[in-house]
Each structure stands twice: as structure tokens, then as C-alpha cells.
Amino acid sequence: MARPSASPDDADDGALRRAKALSVPTRVAAFGHLRRAADPLSAPQLAVLLGVHHTAVRQHLNVLIAAGLVAAAPQPHTGRGRPRIVYRALDIVDSYRELATALAEAMTSGLPTREIGRQRGLATAPVADGPLATLAAEADRLGFEPSVRRRGAGRFELVLGACPFADAAAAAPAAVCDLHLGIAEGIVERSGSMVVDALDATDPHRGGCRFTLHSASGL
């Protein structure tokens, strides 16, 4: 039986819960361990991986469950006593899942968030109209509502009309903004024809953040 489609309000509320869940580094790290684990993990197993008490881990897991990022289930067993509860990451199909995955990768790999973004940018398939169009298309796919402005010979701005990660960006601006700056740098680096000068950030709830770029040829 097909699930009824969510209303816009339901979708917005789910995104907000995911944003709040991902505003705490321990939850991001827990999500990353669950995503990469071959089998579901218990709270004590996660406690060892995270280096925190299992009671605190359970509290973080409850938030991730409420946000729809993680599912809990009893582990099949034989014998007496209660079955052990294990946890697995859910495959959330939206931009917040991509954000959670990237931030978790940065935390657990030891690489800077900006470098994780750059690697993702380098792996982004280019579009026919060049790196600026590719960057705009990727920003649009993620929900940033981009618009391109020419600012003189060989100089451009990509203005982000909205931030789909506003709550997460407000809670952890360095991580979220560095990730997307890295993505932009990777996209234009792949072409070799443009350079990202900066990401000028504003209040993520108001929109208006902008990338400034210039053509490597000056045209």
C-alpha cells in the first residue's frame, strides 16, 4: 500500500527536526557510524565508538529517531531476558540526508569539512553550459534558489535566495558553510576555467548568501 504524500507543512517540519538533530556533533558522529556499519549497532557499541556514556548515547539516538534519521528494532535472540535494541541509519531522500552524510564523513574521517565538500564538488557531473551553470544547477537541486549576476568582465555572483539548512547553519555555521564552499570550489576546479573567490554569508534564515567568482581567463 502506497504511503500518502506528505503535505508541505509535514515536509517542512521534518526538515526542521533533522536540522535540529544535526546541530549536535555527537549526533552527527553517531549517524555516521550507523550509516557505515555493516549491521545495526547497539547503544553500548556506539558508546564505545563515540567515547561517551551509553545513557547519553540513548538520549541522542532518541532525537535522531524522532527526526526520522535512525530506526530502532529489537535484535532477534533466544533465551531469557529482554531482546537487545539495535539501531540503523535510515535512507532519507532529501538534502538533509546529504548534509548529515557529509558532516558525518568529515567528523569520522578527520578531513576538514571544506575538503569533504571539495571532493563532492569534483564528483558532481558538469552541465553543458560550464562550471557556473553546474554550480547553479547543484545549488538549485539542494534548494538554495540560486540566481546568477554578472559583476563586470569575467566576474560573477551566485546569490542564494534561501538556505534549506537554515537551522543547522545557524547552529553550526562554520561546518555547514565550509561544506558548501568546498562543493563550489570542487565544481569550478574540475573545469579549470573559473575560481571561487569567497562565500559571503548572511543570516541563513533570511537568505542572500553569495558566492563571488571570476573567470580564469578574465573574460
Pair (118, 82) in one structural domain: no
pLDDT on residue 136: 94
* Range of the structural domain that residue 162 is part of: 112-215
Both 116 and 209 in one domain: the answer is yes
Task: Classify burial at 128, counting beta carbons within 10 Å of its beta carbon; exposed 0-12, middle 13-18, buried 19 or more.
Answer: exposed
Domain at 65, CATH number: 1.10.10.10
Domain termination residue (choose one: 42, 68, 95): 95
186 grid coordinates: 570542487
Note whether 198 and 116 are same-domain residues. Answer: yes
Residue at grid coordinates 538549485: 140
pTM of full prediction above 0.85: no
Q: What is the C-alpha to C-alpha distance for residues 88 and 1, in angstroms, rounded to an integer?
A: 24
Specify the DSSP element, H or E, that contains 94.
none
Number of domains the chain is built from: 2
Q: Are 41 and 136 contained in the same domain? A: no
Same domain assignment for residues 18 and 89: yes
pLDDT digit string, tens, across residues 85-133: 999 988 665 666 677 778 877 877 888 999 999 999 999 989 888 999 9
| Gap between the Cα atoms of 163 and 165, Å rounded | 5
Residues 91 and 30 in one domain: yes
Judge if 156 and 86 occupy the same domain: no
Instruction: Please indicate, yes or no, whether residues 122 and 210 belong to a single structural domain of this protein.
Output: yes
**Residue pLDDT, tens place only, 141-190:** 888 999 999 988 889 999 999 988 887 788 778 888 999 999 999 999 98
Per the domain annotation, does 143 fall within a domain?
yes
